[in-house]
Amino acid sequence: MTSILLPIDGSEQSKDALEYALEHFKDADITAINVIDPIEAGYTSQATVPGYSEEWFEQAKESAEQLFATAQETADEYDHELDTVTEVGRPSRTIVDYAVENDMDHIVMGSHGRSGVTRILLGSVAESVVRRSPVPVTIVR
């Protein structure tokens, strides 16, 4: 059976990618991955407050669970069960590493989830995944 890795971040592009995967890979095992980027915690002055990192991480995990619940609601419309995983790290590297380590056949992802300053600072995750991935990548715009 084909296995699809689907990075989700709550953006419209990742929702479009989910629907694309559900429509075009009906019989595939789809794993939704949310990558918690610890660098994002460092862009606030609160990052130096004791206990902030743990609190930020717990909020990030809760946010991931909400994203997965919303994604599963969409998948339910297609009578499809999603596998879910939360990883911590730089998004593009983590997505590619997970795909390789878990023998994924394909990555389906949105064109970009970030905008403004974070996109300029961190670059395009989708572009980096396309360049680094040894498995096929479909970018949904």
The boundaries of the domain holding residue 67 are 3-140
Q: For the chain, how many structural domains are there in total?
A: 1
- For the stretch 25-34, pLDDT in tens is 999 999 999 9
Question: What are 36's two structure tokens?
Answer: 């918690």
Contacts of 42 (CB under 8 A, 6+ apart): none
Contact criterion met (CB below 8 Å) for 31 and 3: yes
- The single-letter DSSP state of residue 82 is P
pLDDT band of residue 55 (cuts 50, 70, 90) is confident
> Which CATH number characterizes residue 32's domain?
3.40.50.620
pLDDT at residue 53, as a whole number: 74
